[in-house]
Homo-oligomer: A and B are copies of this chain.
């Protein structure tokens, strides 16, 4: 199941691109971002490597937003906020993650919990401001 992954320039570039942003981009974004410096990059390669990184726990998926999967170069568990208006995904890194949550579910329901996701939905600051502006 665990297979050895060789080095490749494309692979390195894809991981670097993802880790260089906090926007939780789509595969398409990574592809478009690398296009100028990697003209012969294929979108399939981006998908292939993002899936590989995720399987290896190097990155994580934030889930599907507006039909597209969003990736996070930070594999450490943390909360996210998703704007219902513009689809932006924000980190909530300082948010007090309850580590005992998993334990509680384990004990109370007899379920083997691996991890959990806590995602807030609402309207981001920029979209709030835009709304207020539109009402004037």
Contacts and interface: CB of A to CB of B under 8 A. Distances in A.
Interface residues of A, number: 33
B92 A105 contact: yes
A106 to B, nearest CB: 8
Task: Report the copy number of this chain in the oligomer.
Answer: 2
Interface string A120-136: 11111100100000000
A23 interface: no
Interface of A: 63-64, 79, 81, 84, 90, 92, 94-95, 101-102, 104-106, 108-125, 128
Closest 5 CB pairs of A and B: A113-B122, A64-B64, A116-B120, A114-B122, A112-B123
17 contacts: A63-B64, A81-B113, A90-B109, A95-B108, A101-B120, A106-B122, A111-B120, A111-B122, A111-B123, A112-B123, A113-B120, A113-B122, A114-B121, A114-B123, A116-B120, A117-B119, A119-B119
